[in-house]
Amino acid sequence: MNTNNQTNSDGGNVQSRLVIVANEHGLHARPAGKLAQQAQAFEADILLVYDEQEVDAKSILDVLTLAAGPGEKLEIRASGSDAEQAADALQTLFANKFEE
């Protein structure tokens, strides 16, 4: 799994991680649900970037509409006080295939 940390942008703390959708079905309801739930636990604003689309990782509907299939590459972009923890946590979730 690729990791790409970049700190700083306009004095804020932006964390970026590249991840791959490794579970069998892609970002379907359950993984999207887990992702949104996990993201909601953080203060940071978290974006998922995929295929020129940027969506709110805290929104299950947004995540679902990405329709990212297995093997697709996404970027997690978190900004805010706990951005690093948030980005790490979501990256782990992808790496663990959403515990499926």
Partner 1 sequence: MADKILSGISVATGIAIGKAFFVNRNHKAHLPRQTVSADQVANEISLLHDAFALVEAELSATREHVPAELKDYGLLIDTHILMLKDPKLSGTAEEYIKSLGLNAAWALEKAVADQEAAFGAIDDPYIRERMQDVRVVADKVQAKLIGHEADLEALSGRAIIMAHDLTPADTVELQVDKIMGFATVCGGKTSHTGIMARSLAIPALVGVDKLEDYVNDGDLVVIDGLSGKIVVNPTDDELEEYNERAAFFEDYSRKIKRHCQLPAETFDGSRVKVMANIELVEEVASVIDNGGEGVGLYRTEYAYLNRTELPDEDELAEKYIDLAAIMSPRKVIFRTLDLGADKFISSYGELNEVNPAMGLRAIRFCLKHPKLFKTQLRAILRASAYGNVSLMFPMISGVKEVRQAKAWLAQAKAELRREGVEYDPNIPVGIMIELPAAVMIAEYLAQEVDFFSIGTNDLIQYSIGVDRTNHHVSYLYQPLHPATLRTIKLVVDAAHQAGIEVSLCGEVASDPFCVPILLGMGIDSISLTPQAIPGIKRIIRQTNMHDCRKLLKDVLECRTVSRINNLVMDNIFKHFPDEVSFFTSLLENDEAGS
Which residues of the chain form contacts with partner 1 (CB under 8 A)?
Answer: 24-26, 28-30, 33, 36-37, 40, 56, 58-62, 64-65, 67, 69
Q: What is the DSSP letter of 18?
A: E
Annotation marks residue 25 as catalytic:
no
Q: Which lies closer to partner 1 via its Cβ, residue 30 or residue 73?
A: 30
Q: Which is nearer to partner 1, 20 or 84 (CB)?
A: 20
- CB 71 to partner 1: min, Å: 13
Give the closest residue to 1 by CA, choosing from 100, 98, 99, 94.
94
Which are the contacts of 11, defined by CB distance < 8 A and separation ≥ 6? none
Could you tell me which of 47, 56, 49 has the C-alpha nearest to residue 79?
A: 47
Between 36 and 83, whose beta carbon lies closer to partner 1? 36
- Nearest-approach distance from CB 73 to partner 1, in angstroms: 17
Residue type present at position 68: A
**Chain-centre distance of CA 5, in angstroms?**
14
Q: Which of 17, 28, 58, 77 is catalytic?
A: 28
Q: Which residues are catalytic?
A: 28
